[in-house]
Chains A and B, each alone.
Chain A
Amino acid sequence: GAVVSQHPSRVICKSGTSVKIECRSLDFQATTMFWYRQFPKKSLMLMATSNEGSKATYEQGVEKDKFLINHASLTLSTLTVTSAHPEDSSFYICSARQGLAGIETQYFGPGTRLLVL
């Protein structure tokens, strides 16, 4: 089946630094990728939708200058958390969509745990 990877799986950084998270579709091309954030004991919240070759669409309340998304190729999207602060600590999950719209065509990565000290 379709496989999506994320790198790194976990990262610890100092407050004020920037962190880049990669999301790759390993065996298919994904014109659309999604970034989610999961707080402890909370549901996944969609942060943004990333389309290859165009600007990402951010959900209401998500700071686009804080969470920079780049979808430079059909197999790679990156999320950069700029000037990270402790409140940015969370579990970030990406997904890549293969084919037509519909959540069932989204394949999820294993997630990246970010801890900002």
Chain B
Amino acid sequence: AQSVTQLDSHVSVSEGTPVLLRCNYSSSYSPSLFWYVQHPNKGLQLLLKYTSAATLVKGINGFEAEFKKSETSFHLTKPSAHMSDAAEYFCVVSNTGGYQKVTFGTGTKLQVIP
């Protein structure tokens, strides 16, 4: 069984300040973890992925996430928020077996204040 919890449904930051979007997961096996971003009226776009290699993963647009097995967390961070980062972010967990089961988090809406 697997699940993913995004702890904040809404996060508001000022432009130029750090971003932290939290994600905790549970899994019976070694999972793959992903962060997706969804801008209004656009499809989900892959930001980054963890697939059992380096625990600190760098993605597009300056985002990165750290896989912490002891804390079962995969929080998304960015040093300095930009207005264009305002969007909905989804944390996703997937098994790595033959039949891929994917579980999405409920999403975190990021608001960036000028």
Residues in chain A within 8 A of chain B (CB atoms): 4, 9, 36, 41-46, 93, 95, 101-104, 107-111
Return chain A residues, CB-CB under 8 Å to B43.
Answer: 4, 93, 95, 107-111
Q: A43-B106, A110-B41 are known contacts. Are A104 and B46 too (CB-CB below 8 A)?
A: yes
Known: A42-B106, A44-B104, A107-B43. 9 other contacts (CB 8 A): A4-B43, A43-B104, A93-B43, A102-B32, A103-B100, A104-B34, A110-B41, A110-B43, A111-B43
B103 contact set on A, CB distance < 8 A: 43
Q: Select from chain B the residue with minimum beta-carbon distance to A43.
A: B104
Contact A9 B41 (CB under 8 A): yes
* A103 / chain B contacts, CB cutoff of 8 Å: 32, 34, 92, 94, 100, 102
A6: nearest residue on chain B (CB-CB)? Answer: B43
